[in-house]
């Protein structure tokens, strides 16, 4: 955390109250869960069951029972270092070890005995505010729990719906911003319509000190959070958590329900699935009257929705926040892969998504795997042999390929051949190969006016990338461009890019 602007006095008081409130009823004797507080006879009479908790994108199964129960929920808080993006790590604060927190499913009318356990390795106290709770702070005041301690409280799930839960320990936006949120479903007494697949997806943004893609362990940047300028907006806690072999799946003819929540801490999502129409949306996740035939649904921070649709044709369907720079530049992009026979009446079968996204996701994740492999090989080489220049260049090119497939390919095409009359080729470009300094300058500062590549003149505009890419990313992407599709060239160093970025004339 870099800067913590002081909150207003009223807010400060609230934070203090939340922070210093002792564990509920600490004066009522030993921490023996049974008999601590006498439960009303009608609660004691309920059958007891243990809640099944699942990690995203999985959802616990629907209820078969038709009666209310006393449901025991054990949720463990853990502070863990995990991957936020390729090469980027982050210390997440979690409910259950990953972001979003475990999915909790109860039935309308159930009485929930909630245990919040804060792992001894945690550095901070935490608590939980469940939006499904009717009671002060949604449980926050009763669950303030120091590391190595456990709190308990009981509530009745009065309203059916899909609810967000989150940490409410000061500074609250930081606890949420580090990943402390999840969903609790209070299934209506009459149940929900059966579907073939239920999935759990949650959006949240991360305010890292480094820019998008900057490698290494990143920490929370309070100034960026206050300005609501997150470098990352992601689904299920990481860039790529739902792409490639981690995509959601379904078969043609099946029905899918997605429980979609937004942890925030700040941004509202415009949730959309490219190539699908939501047959039903339960607006704001009230789970009573659905809207029908919806394209995009607005999900507030600290809110949720449930969407249902039947998949009619095979292909890859892309989940996005339709505030699209979040999807294409900050990570809020997932996939649903549908397999099965084509239906040429509904859809002719031409896969448009494959060109504008498939390349990024499939090639990109392949390339990330290859990068990890090369990192391992470099470590090996260093042990036995100092001649590692070749491998370093190869690794830079693999990283650069990921940048290329996320950005440049849209114009210069995945094969580097460009589009006649619109975008010049990079593959075999005499213009490119003649001058590396000039190429670095073009990527940083852009280019407009006539340019002749391999005898053909184009007069168009290439947008500058200096605000979008880091020096490392530019060095990597050009190393890739200079060594892909038959091109031959040296690795481009970060210091050369930096020098040109900083030149003043």
**Judged by CB, which is closer to Cu ion: 237, or 315?**
237
Handedness of CA 214, 219, 225, 226 (dihedral sign): negative
Q: Is 75 in the site for Cu ion (CB under 5 A)?
A: no
Smallest gap from Cβ 122 to Cu ion, in A, equals 9
**Judged by CB, which is closer to ligand HEC: 291, or 325?**
325
Q: Longest Cα pair distance anywhere in the chain, in angstroms?
A: 88
Residue whose structure tokens are 């106290």: 125
Contact residues for 184 (Cβ-Cβ < 8 A; gap 6+): 103, 104, 105, 106, 130, 131, 132, 162, 163, 164, 165
Residue 493 DSSP symbol: P
E-state strands within 322-386: 333-339
**Judged by CB, which is closer to Cu ion: 169, or 208?**
169
Residue of 281, 319, 338, 432 that binds ligand HEC (CB under 6 A): 432
Give the closest residue to 304 by CA, choosing from 338, 257, 336.
Answer: 257
Q: Is 451 in the site for ligand HEC (CB under 6 A)?
A: yes
Give me the residues paired with residue 335 across strands. Answer: 318
Contact track, Cu ion, 138-167, x by CB under 5 A = -----------------------------x
Ramachandran sector of residue 452 (left: φ over 0; alpha: ψ -120 to 50; beta: rest) = beta
**Judged by CB, which is closer to ligand HEC: 149, or 441?**
441
Other CB atoms within 10 A of residue 130 CB: 27
Q: Which residues of 201-214 are buried (b: 16+ CB within 10 A; e: fewer)?
A: bbbbbbbbbeebbb
Residue of 77, 458, 492, 500 that binds ligand HEC (CB under 6 A): 458
Pick what 175 binds: ligand HEC, Cu ion, none; C-beta below 5 to 8 Å, kind-dependent.
Answer: Cu ion
Smallest gap from Cβ 252 to ligand HEC, in A, equals 35
Contact track, ligand HEC, 474-503, x by CB under 6 A = ---x---x----------------------
Residue of 102, 126, 166, 272 that binds Cu ion (CB under 5 A): 126
Q: Considering only 169-177, 243-251, 444-452, 490-498, which stretch makes contact with Cu ion by CB under 5 A?
A: 169-177
Give me the residues paired with residue 245 across strands. Answer: none
Pick what 167 binds: ligand HEC, Cu ion, none; C-beta below 5 to 8 Å, kind-dependent.
Answer: Cu ion
Pick what 288 binds: ligand HEC, Cu ion, none; C-beta below 5 to 8 Å, kind-dependent.
Answer: none
Residue of 118, 465, 470, 479 that binds ligand HEC (CB under 6 A): 465
CB 264 within 8 A of CB 176: yes
Pick what 259 binds: Cu ion, ligand HEC, none; C-beta below 5 to 8 Å, kind-dependent.
Answer: none
Pick what 52 binds: Cu ion, ligand HEC, none; C-beta below 5 to 8 Å, kind-dependent.
Answer: none
**In the range 301-360, which residues lie near Cu ion by CB under 5 A?**
none
CA distance 166 to 248: 25
**In the range 174-213, which residues lie near Cu ion by CB under 5 A?**
175, 180
Omega before 314 cis (within 30°)?
A: no
CA distance 502 to 472: 14
CA distance 153 to 407: 50
Contact residues for 146 (Cβ-Cβ < 8 A; gap 6+): 23, 118, 125
Question: How many residues sit in the footprint of ligand HEC (CB under 6 A)?
Answer: 29
Contact track, ligand HEC, 350-389, x by CB under 6 A = ----------------------------------------
Convert 91-118 into a string of H (helix), E (strand) and C (coil). Answer: EEEEECCCCCCCEEEEECCCEEEEEEEE
Pick what 180 binds: Cu ion, ligand HEC, none; C-beta below 5 to 8 Å, kind-dependent.
Answer: Cu ion
Residue whose structure tokens are 């801490």: 265
Q: Is 460 in the site for ligand HEC (CB under 6 A)?
A: yes
Contact track, ligand HEC, 389-428, x by CB under 6 A = ------------------xx-xxx----------xxxx--
Q: Which two tokens stand for residue 94?
A: 């979690």
**Judged by CB, which is closer to Cu ion: 103, or 144?**
144
Residue count of the chain: 505
Q: Considering only 181-189, 206-214, 291-299, 446-454, which stretch makes contact with ligand HEC by CB under 6 A?
A: 446-454
Footprint of ligand HEC on this chain (CB under 6 A)? 407-408, 410-412, 423-426, 429, 431-432, 439, 442-443, 447-449, 451, 453, 458-463, 465, 477, 481
Footprint of Cu ion on this chain (CB under 5 A)? 126, 167, 169, 175, 180
């Amino acid at each position: 955390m870099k800067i913590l602007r002081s909150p207003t006095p009223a807010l400060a008081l609230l934070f203090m109250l939340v922070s210093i409130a002792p564990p509920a009823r600490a004066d009522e004797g030993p921490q023996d869960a049974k008999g601590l507080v006498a439960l009303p006879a009608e609660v004691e009479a309920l059958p007891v069951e243990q809640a099944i908790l699942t990690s995203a994108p999985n959802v616990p199964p629907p209820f078969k029972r038709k009666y209310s129960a006393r449901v025991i929920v054990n949720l463990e808080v853990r502070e863990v270092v995990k991957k936020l993006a390729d090469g980027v790590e982050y210390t997440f604060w979690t409910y259950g070890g990953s972001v979003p927190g475990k999915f909790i499913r109860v039935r309308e009318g159930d009485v929930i005995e909630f245990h919040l356990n804060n792992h001894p390795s945690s550095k901070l106290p935490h608590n939980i505010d469940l939006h499904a709770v009717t009671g002060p702070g949604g449980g926050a005041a009763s669950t303030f729990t120091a590391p190595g301690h456990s709190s308990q409280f009981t509530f009745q799930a009065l309203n059916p719906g899909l609810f967000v839960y989150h940490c409410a320990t000061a500074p609250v936006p930081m606890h949420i911003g580090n990943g402390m949120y999840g969903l609790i479903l209070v299934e209506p007494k009459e149940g929900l319509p059966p579907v073939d697949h239920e999935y759990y997806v949650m959006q949240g943004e991360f305010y890292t000190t480094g820019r998008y893609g900057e490698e290494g362990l990143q920490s929370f940047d309070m100034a960026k959070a206050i300005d609501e300028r997150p470098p990352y907006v992601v689904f299920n806690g990481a860039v790529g958590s739902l792409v490639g072999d981690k995509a959601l799946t379904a078969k043609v003819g099946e029905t899918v329900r997605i429980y979609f929540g937004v942890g925030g801490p700040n941004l509202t999502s415009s949730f959309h699935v490219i190539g699908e129409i939501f047959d039903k949306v339960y607006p704001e996740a009230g789970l009573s009257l659905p809207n029908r035939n919806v394209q995009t649904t607005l999900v507030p921070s600290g809110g949720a929705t449930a969407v249902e649709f039947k998949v009619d044709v095979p292909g890859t369907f892309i989940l996005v926040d339709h505030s699209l720079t979040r999807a294409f530049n900050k990570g809020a992009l997932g996939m649903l892969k549908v397999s099965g026979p084509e239906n040429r009446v509904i859809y002719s079968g031409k896969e448009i998504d494959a060109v504008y996204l498939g390349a990024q996701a499939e090639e990109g994740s392949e390339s990330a795997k290859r990068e990890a492999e090369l990192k391992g090989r470099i470590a090996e080489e260093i042990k036995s042999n100092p001649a590692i220049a070749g491998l370093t260049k190869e690794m830079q090119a693999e990283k650069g390929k990921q940048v290329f497939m996320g950005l440049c390919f849209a114009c210069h095409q995945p094969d580097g051949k460009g589009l006649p009359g619109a975008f010049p080729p990079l593959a075999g470009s005499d213009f490119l190969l003649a001058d590396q300094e000039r190429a670095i300058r073009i990527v940083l500062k852009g280019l407009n006016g006539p340019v002749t590549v391999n005898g053909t003149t184009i007069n168009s505009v290439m947008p500058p990338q200096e605000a979008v890419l880091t020096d490392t990313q530019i060095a990597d992407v050009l190393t890739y461009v200079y060594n892909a599709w038959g091109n031959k060239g040296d690795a481009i160093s970060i210091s050369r890019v930096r020098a040109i970025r900083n030149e003043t004339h």
